[in-house]
Amino acid sequence: MALDKNQRTIRSLQLTYIPAEPTEEKTEKAETLAKTEKINRATLTNYIAAFINLFEPTLTAEKSQQKATELLAKGKGAPFYQQTEGTLRFVIADHNEKGITFAIEPIKLSLSDK
């Protein structure tokens, strides 16, 4: 989390999911690994949805969940995906087996001099 101390506001909030590496001691079956990954992915999606809802409280829990799922799908496999929506910027960085980072940051809008 990056804070702006002068204005007492959050500048950016970041969440990184790092998947557990299989150990040599555990010879886990592919089914078990896939099931665990699915559960972990659902947990990640829930955290992202909660962060979205924190910054955009007008969204319902269902809409926040849909937004989180959409962002993860669009950013899948991309080293960097960015989407700006209104006053928020969403960033997904997918580093494959090294993990996924999600960031959300409010952006300042300014009026044009024209």
pTM: 0.76
Strands of the sheet containing 9-17, edge to edge, are: 2-4, 9-17, 100-106, 88-94, 81-85
Per-residue pLDDT tens digits for 44-56? 999 999 999 988 8
Domain ranges of the chain: 13-18+34-106
Per-residue pLDDT tens digits for 5-44? 566 666 677 888 887 776 655 556 777 777 888 888 899 9
Please, what is the average pLDDT of the chain?
A: 81
Give the C-alpha distances (Å, rounded to integers) separating 72 from 56, 81, 114. Answer: 18, 9, 38
User: At residue 2, does pLDDT exceed 60?
Assistant: no
